[in-house]
Amino acid sequence: MTRVIIIGAGNVAFHLTKAIKALDSVSLVQVYNRSKEVFKQALYTDLATTTQFNELLDADLYIIAISDNSITAVSEKLPKDKLVVHTSGSMSMTAISQQKRGVFYPLQSFSKAKAVDFKEIPFCLEARNATDLKLLEELAKALSDKVYLINSEQRKSLHVAAVFVNNFANHMFYQAAELCKNYNVPFEILKPLIQETVAKLDELSPSEAQTGPALRNDTKTLAAHLELLNQNQQEIYNSISKSIQENHGEKL
Amino acid sequence: MTRVIIIGAGNVAFHLTKAIKALDSVSLVQVYNRSKEVFKQALYTDLATTTQFNELLDADLYIIAISDNSITAVSEKLPKDKLVVHTSGSMSMTAISQQKRGVFYPLQSFSKAKAVDFKEIPFCLEARNATDLKLLEELAKALSDKVYLINSEQRKSLHVAAVFVNNFANHMFYQAAELCKNYNVPFEILKPLIQETVAKLDELSPSEAQTGPALRNDTKTLAAHLELLNQNQQEIYNSISKSIQENHGEKL
């Protein structure tokens, strides 16, 4: 049975710990975190935990799920001859100092308060050799129905794409909510439209689904909209409208 | 029984015609369109249709569902003493020349090919007098569970907010799809994240849901992302990142 140790107790580490703990096919040997406060949470009460690297037990796989900047330094404190992976979308596999290294990146936005269904979370895997990749693949498939082999360059592009669909799309929702607040309209009114915007992706590509005054080059509406916006919103409005026109010009 | 005539046969008019035709409480008297081609569709085969304004029948409510620029001109061809409304998010109620005028705006993105559930579509209503508003309200409530009284100024702000959540959010998905294409990664991998981005709005405000490198002012990641983007994407990336930082600075 594969023995796993998880390094970290932040959002990703927390949800991974919970999911791996629930697996029958894997033994979650231990969890490391630099401070012991988090271990008071119910999840950790029946797990072996430590705040000391020199107390780490033996395992087949060490999963580093901590902030990007600390991955290399932490990997250097782990056994030199074991398989060590990180869970970051933006760091290269070479951030791990071990020869047996890899990446185990769950492409999802985690927050501790919100339960996640791991079966639906895509796992992006990478490893230096086939045996290690196979071990990662078995673990990922035990957790999720969506497992992909993705190299470091592809993963970096996925990470910036994730910023567009998650952080930036959410900022569009934020600006809409601000407009609603300013004009005393409930943001709720927009929820069905938001849901439809995403539902359309089941049938159309984002390119096919594009509509709106920028696409139609409806200059009258574009000008009327700009009048309702603050400077910040105007900058966004202009840069995205310009991009829509430059990318979909052939549709006009 | 309220007698309704629909002017137009575009996306909004098509779906409205279909939904109103299905109501028992309302009589859909006639549909006007400037060209007769569209009337060959199954929806219109058992409806009275015309391409001539002088053939319009008598009704209690005339719904103009055509492009913004033509609303005023078309309203001038309709009976002077009847209730006439338009379905536009961005046009003022005064675009209608009749004294008995109003707005009947379904806030949703329509495409002919895709069926819509009107029960979930918010209707934004406006009228000059209480009797007319009551008639619009009865019709809207027969179609939808979500009926709002929204004045012209509020509606304009909603329309630009709708551009942010629909057109602009979709363009974020488009840019992500472009990145996936360029780096040979299936766009499918991002779908669960897109769904989660929207699902979070059930529990958190967009402000609370905001995450990402711009929010954290993670300059290293921001710089790495910019290297992967074309000029167009860089402009969007910079303007939105700047806006996230200016609007959520207090979170840092």
Which three-class secondary structure state does DSSP give residue A204?
coil
Place of tokens 């709002």: B148
- pLDDT at residue A136 above 90? yes
Contact A177 B220 (CB under 8 A): no
At A233 the pLDDT is 95
For B98, the token pair is: 């009749």
- pLDDT at residue B252 above 50? no
At A6 the pLDDT is 98
Torsion of CA A83, A88, A153, A247, to 10 degrees: 160
pLDDT band, residue B250 (cuts 50/70/90): low
At A37 the pLDDT is 96
pLDDT band, residue A249 (cuts 50/70/90): low
pTM value is: 0.90
Using CB atoms, which residue from A109, A161, A189 is nearest to B158?
A: A189
What DSSP line would sit under A95-144, residue for residue?
GS-SSSEEEEEE-S---TTS---GGGS-EEEEESSHHHHHHHHHHHHHH-
Contact A190 B158 (CB under 8 A): yes
> What interface predicted TM-score (ipTM) does this complex get?
0.91
Q: What is the mean pLDDT of residues A85-99?
A: 96
Q: Give me the amino acid identity at B61.
A: L
The strands making up A101-106's β-sheet, listed across from edge to edge, are A49-50, A26-32, A2-7, A61-64, A83-86, A101-106, A123-127, A147-149
At A250 the pLDDT is 55
Taking only the tens place, the pLDDT of each residue in B209-219 is 999 999 988 89
Q: A12 with A106: CB under 8 angstroms? A: yes
B239 to each of A164, A176, A228, how far by Cα in Å?
Answer: 12, 16, 18
Q: B187 with B245: CB under 8 angstroms? A: no
How far is the C-alpha of A161 from the C-alpha of A168, rounded, in Å?
10
pLDDT band, residue A111 (cuts 50/70/90): confident
Residues A43, A49, A51, CA angle at the centre, nearest 5°? Answer: 125
Chains A and B: how many Cβ contacts under 8 Å? 296
Contact B206 A108 (CB under 8 A): no
The DSSP call for residue B168 is: I
- pLDDT at residue A252 above 50? no
Contact A109 B211 (CB under 8 A): yes
Taking only the tens place, the pLDDT of each residue in B136-194 is 999 999 999 999 999 999 999 999 999 999 999 999 999 999 999 999 999 999 999 99
Taking only the tens place, the pLDDT of each residue in A139-160 is 999 999 999 999 999 999 999 9
Residues A131, A134, A135, CA angle at the centre, nearest 5°? Answer: 90
Which three-class secondary structure state does DSSP give residue B53?
helix
Taking only the tens place, the pLDDT of each residue in A166-211 is 999 999 999 999 999 999 999 999 999 999 999 999 999 999 999 9
Q: What is the mean pLDDT of chain A?
A: 95
Distance from CA of A42 to the nearest CA of B (A): 23
How far is the C-alpha of A98 from the C-alpha of A76, rounded, in Å?
8
At B62 the pLDDT is 98
Q: B181 with B233: CB under 8 angstroms? A: no
Report the range of poorest mean pLDDT among A112-121, B27-36, B198-207. Answer: A112-121
Distance from CA of B59 to the nearest CA of A (A): 30
